[in-house]
Amino acid sequence: MSGHSKWNNIKKKKEKTDGQKAKIFTKIGREISVAVKEGGPDPASNGKLRDLIAKAKSLNVPNDNIKRCIQRAEGGEKDNYESITYEGYGPNGIAMMVETLTDNRNRTAANLRHYFDKFGGNLGNMGCVGFLFSEQGVIVLDAEGQDPDAMMEAALEAGADDFDAGDDVAQITTSPDAFSEVRQALEDAGYTFLSADVEMVPSTTTALTDPDQMVQMAKLLDALDDDDDVQNVWHNLENEEDLDR
């Protein structure tokens, strides 16, 4: 089921981020800063901030770091970040969308173009692959030792669109508008989150089989992950778990 592949990818990401906590803190800090400036510093009245705090905690960001991010943004920090989404193709035409928060769009565009060119892809025009993706809330829960029927009932009652469970993981999808309410309801019910975010989900997927293309794709994803301006990378690669990252 899709959740198993999803959890494999999350585990790899969590293992990797243990050695790159500074970059993770930087990325989530930018998101928190933008959310505070747009909706205020109180998570009780700022749903986006509330979701980001939960996301930060799932990535093991210390509470003190989260508080400092909120206080800096509330105090009017000088950095102003612009949200820009780039679209392009990875090796063998893998569709990719790259979400960024940047204070220098020229730098960000130049860096992304370099990564795509270097690792077998090319940066495209806006709309070139966006039609292949739809925005969905995706919540992955630790299902080990849990009653799947109870989890499903809690998710669907809160407004989820779909529920998919395996032996150790459950994946819940929602509309973007319902994401916050469903995530909060599951948090209140005491479930453990492996990840929770609004994602760009591909309508179709493509597998890579050529070893050289898989190496290039892994290097492209790593380069994007290492860039502080890049917040999220969405793609339609079917067998990401097979990449050596």
Pick the residue with more confidence: 105 or 18? 105
- The rounded distance, in Å, linking the Cα atoms of 245 and 240 is 10
What was the pLDDT predicted at 8? 62
Pick the residue with more confidence: 73 or 76? 73
What was the pLDDT predicted at 167? 73
Nearest in space to 219 (alpha carbons), one of 200, 236, 197, 243: 243
pLDDT tens digits along 80-125:
899 999 999 999 999 999 999 999 999 999 999 999 999 999 999 9
Among the ranges given (19-33, 60-74, 138-152, 158-172), the one the predictor scored with the smallest mean pLDDT: 19-33
CB-count exposure of residue 116 (10 Å: 0-12, 13-18, 19+): buried
- The rounded distance, in Å, linking the Cα atoms of 234 and 231 is 10
Average pLDDT over residues 174-190: 94
Q: Which residues pair with 20 in a beta bridge?
A: none
Q: Which residues pair with 196 in a beta bridge?
A: 139
What was the pLDDT predicted at 19? 56
pLDDT tens digits along 58-74:
888 889 999 999 998 88
- Give the pLDDT band (50/70/90) at residue 7: low
- Report the mean per-residue pLDDT for the chain: 89
* Dihedral (Cα; 133, 135, 100, 197), 10-degree rounding: -130
Are the CB atoms for 41 and 76 separated by under 8 Å?
Answer: no
8-state DSSP, 19: T
What is the fold, at CATH topology level, of the domain defined by 2-74? Answer: Arc Repressor Mutant, subunit A (1.10.10)
Same fold flag, 82-131+204-238 and 133-202: yes
Among the ranges given (24-28, 54-58, 78-82), the one the predictor scored with the smallest mean pLDDT: 78-82
Domain ranges of the chain: 2-74, 82-131+204-238, 133-202
Select from 3.40.50.300, 3.30.70.980, 3.30.1490.20, 3.30.479.30 the CATH code of 82-131+204-238: 3.30.70.980
What was the pLDDT predicted at 16? 56
> What global pTM score does this model have?
0.86
Q: Is the pLDDT of residue 186 over 80?
A: yes
What was the pLDDT predicted at 3? 42
Select from 3.40.50.10360, 3.30.1370.60, 2.160.10.10, 3.30.70.980 the CATH code of 133-202: 3.30.70.980
What was the pLDDT predicted at 59? 82
